Amino acid sequence: MKKLTQETEIVHGVHSDHVTSFDLVPPIHMTSTFKFKDADHGADLFSGKSTGYIYTRIGNPTVDLLEKKIAVLEGGESAVATASGMAAVAAAALTLTAPGDNFVACSTLYGGTFALFSSDLARLNIHARFVSHRRSGSLKEIEEKIDGDTRFLYIETPANPTLDIIDIPLWADTARRHDIPLIVDNTFASPYLQRPLAMGADLVLHSATKYLGGHGDLIGGLIVGSKRMIGQIRESHMNHFGPVMSPFNAWLILRGLKTLALRMDRHSDTALMIAERLLSHPRVAAVFYPGLASHPGHSLARRQMKKFGGMIAFEVHGGVVAGKAVMNGVTLCTLAVSLGDCETLIQHPASMTHAVYSPSERKLAGISDGLIRLSVGLEHPDDILGDLRQALDRVP
Ligand code: PLP
């Protein structure tokens, strides 16, 4: 059959082989274990002589279907689903390292990832070496930080919360030269807007909690890559540490995914319009959105993304006090962390999602105290803008 467009793959993608009842929508396999036909069948499944399901921590048809679908959408050979986005980050990092190893990461990251990298992994004698891509000569800095114990490179783009755009091919070339993998957190873009594996990355991961699920009703994570690397993560981390995804959450993500293209188009188009209008508001000091020609990563974003996504960061004149007044003044936008939902969400990174950074670490990552992060939802653009405007107009 002719290769399908990505929009069609988003709706169809993969089909369940496990049903005999011809459902259009696959059922949810809410079962912890699976029956063996007889003792030899059970033994054959355990030894790998036969393929099939044994126990949901090891594999489940609904979770399997989601893994196959995200692999198709990201253009990877294989995928594994995890209990949360953080479980995906931890699974990838812990599978690739041992005590004494290090890895090099871009310093602008989701706060939970930064905390895992800078404290929890450090306790296990696995050390993150952070590079600020904002400094000129960042390529030289990456190179200088890599040594014989460096096991992978790690980036997030667009980065949370500053919307910095990190050069995927540049990091991928560097990783290749040193024969180590590059991991890309693709949460902010989704595979509809950006496909890091095609640009040389080795593993792509997601907080599926966000745009993939798309409806704010679940927590989940996904990792995509080669059969070999995903097999390693599944065997050594998922089966034994056990942070697997519930079949119910996998089913919700499969359902949410069907509208990914429509949602990402709408999130992106509305965000661009709002970013442009915020720019001209007298109370707004700065707007960070990769779709704006003034954004330092604009031309790079044009090269590596289809559209610019639904996330905006902005600063209000008057710093934190004025920013808080805006967050307390909105009535349609919801004051909450998370992102990628149907509802527009607003939050303050320095005191919320990125409070784990020290003030100097936040400075290095470009997270100012007055920065406000907006996850643009699917409401009518005029209503979102009207709400932001009335809140900004009332800032004392
Ligand atoms: N990666 C990014 C870019 C995120 O924004 C988040 C959460 O906000 C995560 C990973 C962690 O995902 P989860 O909350 O599903 O554990």
Domain boundaries, the chain: 6-257, 260-393
> Is residue 240 scored above 90 in pLDDT?
yes
> Is residue 19 scored above 80 in pLDDT?
no
List the CATH code of the domain at 6-257: 3.40.640.10
> Is residue 1 scored above 80 in pLDDT?
no
Least confident among 127-141, 181-195, 328-342, 372-386: 127-141
Residues with beta carbon inside 6 Å of ligand 1?
84-86, 110, 112-113, 156, 160, 185, 187-188, 207, 209, 219, 221
Integer Cα distance of 318 and 284 in angstroms = 9
pLDDT (mean) for 108-114: 94
Integer Cα distance of 221 and 211 in angstroms = 11
> Is residue 364 scored above 90 in pLDDT?
no
Integer Cα distance of 94 and 243 in angstroms = 13
pLDDT (mean) for 30-46: 96
88: CA distance to ligand 1 center in Å?
9
pLDDT (mean) for 81-93: 98
pLDDT tens per residue, range 247-293: 999 999 999 999 999 999 999 999 999 999 999 999 999 999 999 99
Average pLDDT, the chain: 94
- The pLDDT value given to residue 20: 65
Beta strands of 6-141 (E only): which ranges? 78-82, 102-106, 127-131
Where residue 311 falls among pLDDT bands split at 50, 70, 90? very high
List the CATH code of the domain at 260-393: 3.90.1150.10
- Is 266 annotated in the active site? no
Nearest-atom index, ligand 1, CA of 87? 16
* Angle between helix 381-393 and 260-279 (nearest 10): 30
- The pLDDT value given to residue 17: 65
- The pLDDT value given to residue 355: 85
Exposure string for 359-386, b = 16+ CB within 10 A, e = fewer: eeebebbbbbebbbbbbbbbbebeebbe
pLDDT (mean) for 294-310: 97
> Is residue 362 scored above 90 in pLDDT?
no
What residue owns the CA closest to ligand 1's atom 8? 338
Integer Cα distance of 328 and 341 in angstroms = 20
What residue owns the CA closest to ligand 1's atom 2? 110
